[in-house]
């Protein structure tokens, strides 16, 4: 078995969901460069670019981030992997913050 080392950690954060074509979808896990989506009724084909909105609740309200992403993988289980076309520089820090809150039992 080969070891695959990721450049960015993946986070399992229930506090983040995704809006895709108006449908709210569950985020299985998320990283600085991509997201794994479940519950997407009619997923796009591999290679299809699209705009998605990732949302999370913060103490100041709901933060929404519009991201352009490309479908890179579709699993038989219905889970879809998306890679961000241009990750923002603030996104990794927000993920670290939300993960820290989750580990402290404050959400996530």
Lowest-confidence region among 1-10, 52-61, 89-98: 1-10
pLDDT band at 6 (very low <50, low <70, confident <90, very high): low
Q: How many domains does the chain have?
A: 1
- Give CA angle at 59 (103, 14), nearest 5°: 45
Give the gyration radius of the chain's Cα atoms: 14
In the chain, DSSP finds a helix count (H) and a strand count (E) of 1, 6
The per-residue pLDDT for 5 is 62
Q: Is residue 27 part of a domain?
A: yes
pTM of whole model > 0.75? yes
Q: Is residue 26 part of a domain?
A: yes
Rounded CA-CA distance 62/49 in Å is 25
The per-residue pLDDT for 74 is 93
Is-contact 71 40, C-beta < 8 A?
no
The per-residue pLDDT for 36 is 94
Q: Is residue 101 part of a domain?
A: no
Q: Is residue 104 part of a domain?
A: no
Q: Is residue 102 part of a domain?
A: no
Percentage above 90 pLDDT, the chain: 36
Mean pLDDT for the chain overall: 85
Q: Is residue 31 part of a domain?
A: yes
pLDDT band at 21 (very low <50, low <70, confident <90, very high): confident
Burial of 65 (0-12, 13-18, 19+ CB in 10 A): middle
Residue 41, domain extent: 16-95
Q: Is residue 7 part of a domain?
A: no
The per-residue pLDDT for 108 is 56
CATH of the domain at 55: 2.40.10.220
Rounded CA-CA distance 7/2 in Å is 16
Unique residue bearing structure tokens 């519950």: 39
Q: Is residue 41 part of a domain?
A: yes
Please compute the mean of the pLDDT values over residues 14-19 and round it to a whole number: 89
């Amino acid at each position: 078995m080969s070891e695959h080392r990721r450049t960015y950690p993946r986070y399992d954060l229930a506090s983040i969901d995704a809006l895709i074509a108006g449908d709210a979808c569950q985020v299985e896990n998320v990283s600085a460069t991509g997201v794994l989506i479940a519950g997407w009724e009619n997923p796009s084909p591999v290679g299809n670019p699209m705009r998605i909105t990732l949302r999370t609740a913060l103490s100041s309200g709901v933060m929404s981030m519009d991201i352009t992403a490309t479908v890179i993988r579709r699993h038989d289980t219905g889970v879809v992997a998306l890679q961000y076309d241009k990750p923002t520089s603030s996104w990794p820090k927000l993920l670290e913050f939300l993960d820290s809150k989750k580990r402290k039992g404050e959400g996530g």
